[in-house]
Amino acid sequence: MTQIEFKEDEVDLMREILDSYLHELSSEISSTDTLSFRQDLKQKKAHVIDLLGRLGRRKAA
């Protein structure tokens, strides 16, 4: 397994990027008619949710 170390501000930025992408995926899933494409998008969404979980919650300021 590859491990990468990030500074806290980089982790915050990655959370923001993934949160934004997650919102876009949700919108695209709901507007997609093609079943196979929708399933692919749902799989991506699950991966993004997993990544966000592994990044952990944002620390209180």
- For 28-37, the pLDDT digits (tens) are 999 999 999 9
Confidence category of residue 1, pLDDT binned at 50, 70, 90:
confident
Please state, for a pLDDT cut of 70, what percent of the chain lies above it. 92
Tokens of 30: 């709901």
Q: Which residues touch 42 (CB under 8 Å, ≥6 apart)?
A: 29
The residue whose two tokens read 């944002």 is: 58
* pLDDT tops 90 at residue 10: yes
pLDDT at 34: 96
Cα(32)–Cα(4) distance, integer angstroms = 35
